[in-house]
Amino acid sequence: MEWARRLGGRGVADAVVAVILALLVGYAIVDPPGPSSWWPTWSAWPVAAVVSFPIAVRRRRPWAMLGLACAAGVLATVAGAVAAGATWLSFVPTVLVLYLVAATASVRWSLAGLAACAFAAVTAVLIFYAQVFPGLTPATSPSELPPYWPVEIGVICVLLAAGWAIGTAVRWKRDTTSRLVRHLAEAAVADERRRIARELHDVIGHSMSLIAVKATVANHVADARPQEVRAALAVIEQTSRSTLAEIHPVLGLLRSDGDLQEAHLPVPGMADLPGLAADARSAGVEVDLTIREEAALPPAVAVSVYRIVQQALTNVITHAGPTRCSVTVDIDGRAAMIEVIDDGPRHGRPPRADHGGHGLIGMRERAKMYGGTFSAGSQPEGGFRVATRLPYDPNGTMA
């Protein structure tokens, strides 16, 4: 129906609650537990409708409906149109509207609304029992719940306090959930940025190191060996093209705010390790690559193995090349062990430090992500050693 669609599901529910409560209030006025009201019997239903009406539209104007509900209850009580012994029923709509106010407004303002409603209700009940109740016709039969103003005031105050407390708790839960969701979203964005930065660092660092080495060689032998210059330029061209092809999708995602996990990006793996060794050899590093693979690696672990070997070889090219280097990757179905050892720099170049640099930090982060171990340091006999162990389950999750 059109009216139901406009009100929405919650609006329809509020209207149903308003009707049910109007029937209860009207029945209590017609057959009260105490003396009957001096108002005519038919007036019970209009009074009940007016008292309950604010519930039906409380979501549109909560504060206005709170004032209307409280005012209707007070006027009905002071005028003697309510049920003696069940006066508190006239303030149940106020309780329900106060709940919504507490769930949507600040604690300070909702607490002020609670205090105002409680003061008005207590005053109205005291006036009713002091001025209206003595003039009512006594009930024909004793009531199981005789009229007693302290009980009425106590019930009203407890209901108002409960409605305010529940509404405040709902508001606190919503705010807490909203903050948690926002925090998780920000943390996810930060993690994604760090992952992208790590990927770009590994790709660009490796390629630029190789390009720098080849450019230096070409510059030194440009006059004496032009053929070697041409070969160096060919390596630079190939490396530049492959690097651009690898980072272009990631940069595109950064520009379009895409999801890196959902994008179809080229994912390197174990089959690409010989290519890394070939790149290092073209930069003057004698690479001895050994791969012992007893079981196929899950894709996520294979990417980490590739990136660790890539960064380790980049460090060798940058800090020790030309030199000799051995790369060993051992996979036994439960963990991937990676070891990269170089003989150290030649021609009197100073050895590199054991710690520092984004490359070592990135490798350590990848190992930590899988609960593995990472170590890097200078060898007693010279050279540098990087060792990593990545434990994993066969399904690719962390061990």
Q: Which of 182, 202, 235 is the last residue of a domain?
A: 182
Q: In this predicted structure, what is the pLDDT of residue 3?
A: 44
Looking at the structure of the chain, the number of domains it has is 2
Q: In this predicted structure, what is the pLDDT of residue 28?
A: 80
Enter the tokens of residue 232: 């160096």
Q: In this predicted structure, what is the pLDDT of residue 296?
A: 80
Residue 30 covered by a domain: yes
Q: In this predicted structure, what is the pLDDT of residue 355?
A: 47
SS3 call for 298: coil
Q: In this predicted structure, what is the pLDDT of residue 285?
A: 83
pTM: 0.55
Q: pLDDT higher for 338 or 139? A: 338
Enter the tokens of residue 98: 């106060």
Residue 246 covered by a domain: no
Pairing of the two strands 335-342 and 286-293: unpaired
Residue 238 covered by a domain: no
Pair 282, 140 in one domain: no
Q: Which of 182, 207, 236 is the last residue of a domain?
A: 182
Residue 255 covered by a domain: no
Residue 287 covered by a domain: yes
- Give pLDDT tens digits for 121-153: 999 989 888 888 777 766 665 555 556 788 888
**Separation CA 54–CA 31 (nearest Å):** 24
Does the structure show a pLDDT above 80 at 205? no
Q: What is the mean pLDDT of the chain?
A: 79
Do residues 136 and 33 make contact, with C-beta atoms less than 8 angstroms apart?
no
With bands split at pLDDT 50, 70 and 90, how would you rate the model's confidence at 112? very high
Q: Tell me which residue range forms the domain holding 136.
A: 2-182
Residue range 307-321: average pLDDT?
Answer: 82
Residue 75 covered by a domain: yes
CATH number reported for the structural domain that contains residue 369 in this entry? 3.30.565.10
Does the structure show a pLDDT above 70 at 26? yes
Residue 257 covered by a domain: no
Q: In this predicted structure, what is the pLDDT of residue 263?
A: 47
Enter the tokens of residue 46: 């209009």
Q: Which of 148, 182, 216 is the last residue of a domain?
A: 182
Q: In this predicted structure, what is the pLDDT of residue 1?
A: 46
Closest among 128, 90, 97 to 114, alpha carbons compared: 97
Pair 178, 275 in one domain: no
